[in-house]
Amino acid sequence: MEEKKEKRVMEKEMMLEEEELEEEMEVEEEMEEVEEEEMEVEVVEKMEMEEEEMEVKEENEEQEQQKERALQPKKQRLVFTDLQRRTLIAIFKENKRPSKEMQVTISQQLGLELNTVSNFFMNARRRCMNRWAEEPGAAPGGPAGAAATFSKA
């Protein structure tokens, strides 16, 4: 009988030890989880700080660029010479959409930039469309309409 009691006591002690070990393991796991969460929070905070620093840096760069632009003189508006204007209008009367190659040739002959010539034709087509909308009797592409579209600058 006494052996049984001792055996039971030993079993209880072992069970208690096992429970204590399990509790210790649970505590360790919880501590590890807390540490991981703290590390995650640190990483997130670090990323947020870096993001804020980048935003501030971008804002500073943008302000620098605006200051530089403000210091640069404004580009003068181009006014076509009489010869350039008459030539462009004459070409427009013949061809509303000259090819890029033709526009390059025109720009070289008139001493203008390619984008200036391209813009002229684009704006001229737009002006013609606006005229047709305003004057229902005007014929599209008619010589009178094209000449009336342009004014001396």
Angle (CA) 48-53-56 rounded to 5° is 125
- Same domain as 142, residue 87: yes
**pTM listed for this prediction:** 0.46
Structure tokens at 131: 């005229």
Q: Tell me the residue length of the chain.
A: 153
- Same domain as 93, residue 56: no
- Domain range for 44 is 1-74
pLDDT tens for 22-55 read 999 998 999 999 899 989 989 999 999 999 999 9
Q: What is the model's pLDDT at position 138? A: 56
- Is the per-residue pLDDT at 92 higher than 80? yes
- Is the per-residue pLDDT at 152 higher than 90? no
Last residue of a domain, one of 48, 74, 100: 74
- Same domain as 141, residue 103: yes
User: When comparing pLDDT for 82 and 152, which is higher?
Assistant: 82
- Same domain as 100, residue 50: no
Closest-CA residue to 108 (of 99, 95, 119, 117): 117
User: When comparing pLDDT for 142 and 76, which is higher?
Assistant: 76
Cβ(89)–Cβ(150) under 8 Å? yes
Q: What is the CATH number of the domain that holds 102?
A: 1.10.10.60
Last residue of a domain, one of 74, 101, 129: 74
- Is the per-residue pLDDT at 75 higher than 60? yes
- Same domain as 1, residue 31: yes
Cβ(139)–Cβ(127) under 8 Å? no
- Same domain as 70, residue 3: yes
CB neighbour list of residue 84: distance below 8 Å, 6 or more residues apart: 110, 111, 112
State how far the Cα of 127 lies from the Cα of 106, in Å rounded to an integer: 20
Which residue carries 């001493």 as its tokens?
A: 111
Number of domains in the chain: 2
- Same domain as 66, residue 1: yes
- Same domain as 94, residue 61: no
- Same domain as 139, residue 90: yes
- Same domain as 86, residue 62: no
State how far the Cα of 131 lies from the Cα of 108, in Å rounded to an integer: 30
- Same domain as 87, residue 66: no
User: When comparing pLDDT for 93 and 131, which is higher?
Assistant: 93
- Same domain as 27, residue 11: yes
